Structure formats: structure tokens, C-alpha cells
Amino acid sequence: NAVIHTSYEKALDEAAALEADPTDRADAPFRGLPMLLKDLWPHSAGDPFHQGNKGLKNAGYVHPVDSDLVRRYREAGFVILGRTNTPEFGLSATTEPEAYGPTHNPWSLDHGAGGSSGGAAAAVAAGMVPAANASDGGGSIRIPAAMCGLVGLKPSRGRLPMGPSQDEWGNSVQHVVSHTVRDTAQILDATAHPTLGDGVVAPRHGQPYAVSSQQDPGRLRIGFLTESGRPGVDVDAEVAAATRAAAALLGSLGHDLSESHPEAIDQQIYRERMRPAMAAGAGVAVAHLADLLGREVTADDVEIGTWTMAQAAGQIPAIAALRAQGAAMEFRRHMAQWWEDGFDLLLTPTCAQPAPVLGAMSPTPEEPMRMSTGSIPFAVFTSMFNTTGQPGISLPLARTDSGLPIGMQLVAAYGREDLLLQVANQLEGEVRWAENRAPIHP
């Protein structure tokens, strides 16, 4: 249940046209290769656009235009095969929307594939496509990558275009999940170009990422963290052990490792002050849904958790929302000081826990927020870097005794995807994770 909309006939026609005309996108780096789009941010002209929502599904909503990133994919030569499953409005760390049902993990079909890019990650891990579009507003590239044994790079805020209907100032960014650092870097080169009206454009560091990722980063100062810093959120013992093993591996590659992390991570006051902005996300999603449906949204149009959060968002005073923005700014600057003080990278688990069993986070009338609260252990290490806008990458460096993938996250200073990809390339050379595929991979 990774792919929920298919456009095979259009894809075959486009592939045939490319074959018939060698001059059409002759220099495109991915000419004729298949791509799947996540059914959340990137919209494609004439295709369904439902965002995991039953209201849009029941209305049969079709988007009229390509998003800017989809145009980039087409210019790069990709052929769009369809759209992948996502939780409603991307609001969960597991992909189990009422509208389309759960996506299963290719490593263990009883477990979830993560969220919100769970359909994308499952499709790549199962061998359907070599890479698939994904987006990340709180960990939604990195979490599914960790659970499905893939490479998942969350670029810096403003690295890839979000237009024309989304704003680069928000927490969400887009890229792909893939098997290799090479593919991740090359697709970033093909798509990371500003478009008209972009409000934020991340700085570049000279060379193409496909080139710089192959270079030696030199001896780096890397801090690592094995505890969540959040009361009540414990790190699984196997995950903590894998983090220490990853630190040891980085040390063997010549880097300086120490148990250090930004003080801002431990400051609970930031989480409390930013909470209204987080809750407001569901309210904004429901307001946007009303625009697409052309009518007022009712409780029957959305899941119970989304409705509960949206109702709460409607009670948030404007001043609280603005103060939350100010808290995010303070948090961002406080966090950046650690990198300014001389550290190059931070190593953490991607998720505090391995992939959950499907249904473990399903909401009930008594606990309508279970999908949201249940996501906390999986996003506790990732979501803070959506707030700061820093790039982070999840790498499949370990597995549990039962065979579930464990992802490790590396985080760099804002704009330093080049450094992340260089170190990721070093680790891939040691672990060679792309040679280990999910049991159902052909």
C-alpha cells in the first residue's frame, strides 16, 4: 500500500515520446527514470491531490498545475509513475490514513514504514523505484528512511523550491529518499535551484553536491547524543547501542568524537513556548482544505485527531502564535551557537524507538490524539532541526536483533549539506548498506 494513485499510461506515453525524440531533454541527468511523488506537497497537473484526506478523496480532487519541484523533476528527465501514501496532512510519524489505509514496512509487514513519507520510503525499500519524492516538516524524510533502511536527507530551509502554493519560511522542506548517497546528491544537484518569488534561498558552497560528496571532509569535530532530553521519552537500548557504535565508527575514520550537544536541546521552555505554533499547523491544514473543497469543513471530512487539533488551534490567541514564532527564533540562534563554538556535526539516533507495529498509534474516541502523541518518540531527535532550518541526514547504519532497520542522524550547520554528504559517503563506504535490501526487494 505504498502507491495510492498510478499514472502508468501517461508515463508510458511520455517514455515513448522520449525514446522517439532523442533531442527532447537530451542532457537531462535522469532522462527516462521513474519517479513517485508523495501525495502531500508536490502536485502534478491532472493528477489526484488528496494529502491522505478523505474529504479530498471523496470529492475526487485533481490539481490543475505542476508544483515548482515537479517541474524540476520533469526538466531533469524523470517520468512520474504515480503518488505515494501519506498520513492525513503529514501530521503523523506513521503512514496509516483512514482515507487509504496503512503502508507496510518492507522489512517487516507487521510494522509501519514511518511518516509522513512512509509510502515513498516503502516504495524505494521494496524496489519499485530507485528514489522517490519525500517531504519533511518534523522528520518526515528522516523517520521513514530510518525505519525502511534508506538514506534520507532533509535539506536546509530554502534549498529546494516549495512554490507556488507553499512558503519556504515554514518548517517543511522537500527532497527524496533513496538507497545511496550518490543518488541523493545527484538529485539535489538537479533540483536545488531557486524559483520566482522564493522567500528563502539557502547558500551554496561552490561545487555540485555529486562532486563535493566524494571529497574528504578532513578531521571533523563531532558531538553525539544518546538521550532524548525530553522527560518520558526513553531511547531504546538497541538504538542507544547503535548510536555509540556509529560514534566509534566515525572515530575510526579519523574524526574527533565527544559526548556533547547544544544546550538548547535540554531547554524545555522552548518546547512549551513553541507549542501553539505546532498546534496551529492542523488548523491551517483544515483551512486550506476548505479552500480546496470550496465549502466549510466538517468533522466528517477529516480524522478525529486532525479535527481535535484544528478545534484547539482555533482557540489560540494571535499573540500566543506570534510569541511562538519569537521562541522559535530564539531557539534557532541558541542552537546555532554550538556549531559556531567549533563543532562540525551532531550525531543522534534518528528515532528513539524502532518502527512501531501497525495500529499501535491509532486514535480512539477516548484518545483522539494518539497519532500525534504517539509520534513524539519518533520525532524527538528530528523536529527541532525543522525549527532551526538546518540540514540533517538519516543513514541506515544498524538493525535490531529482529531485523528492523535503525537510522542514525547527522546534523550540520545551516547550508552545509556538502559536509553531511561527505561524511555520509565515508560511512557508506564502510557499512555498504545498499547491498542489504529488504526481504521482499526483487
Point out the residues that are catalytic.
38, 116, 140
Is the preceding peptide bond at 164 cis, omega within 30 degrees of 0? Answer: yes
CA dist 143 and 375 (Å) reads 10
C-alpha cell of 304?
Answer: 478525529
H or E element in which residue 3 lies: strand 3-6
CA dist 6 and 390 (Å) reads 34
Q: Is 254 left (phi over 0), alpha (psi -120 to 50) or beta?
A: left
CA dist 324 and 329 (Å) reads 9
Burial 47-71 (b: 16+ CB within 10 A, else e): bbbbbbbbbbbebebebeebbbbbb
Nearest to 356 by CA among 111, 169, 157, 119: 111
Residue that the C-alpha cell 545527484 belongs to: 186
C-alpha cell of 344?
Answer: 562540525
Residue that the C-alpha cell 525543522 belongs to: 386
* Alpha carbon distances (Å) from 84 to 51, 331, 381: 10, 33, 25
Q: What three-state secondary structure class fits 245?
A: helix
DSSP tag of 409: E
Q: Could you tell me which residues come within 8 angstroms of residue 310 by beta carbon, excluding any fewer than 6 positions away?
A: 282, 283, 285, 286, 302
Greatest extent of the chain over all pairs of C-alpha atoms, in Å: 61
How would you class 188 by CB atoms within 10 Å of its CB: exposed for 0-12, middle for 13-18, buried for 19 or more?
buried
DSSP string, 12-67: HHHHHHHHH-TTTTTT-TTTT-EEEEESSS---TTSB--TT-HHHHHHT-B--S--
Name the residue type at position 377.
P
DSSP tag of 357: B
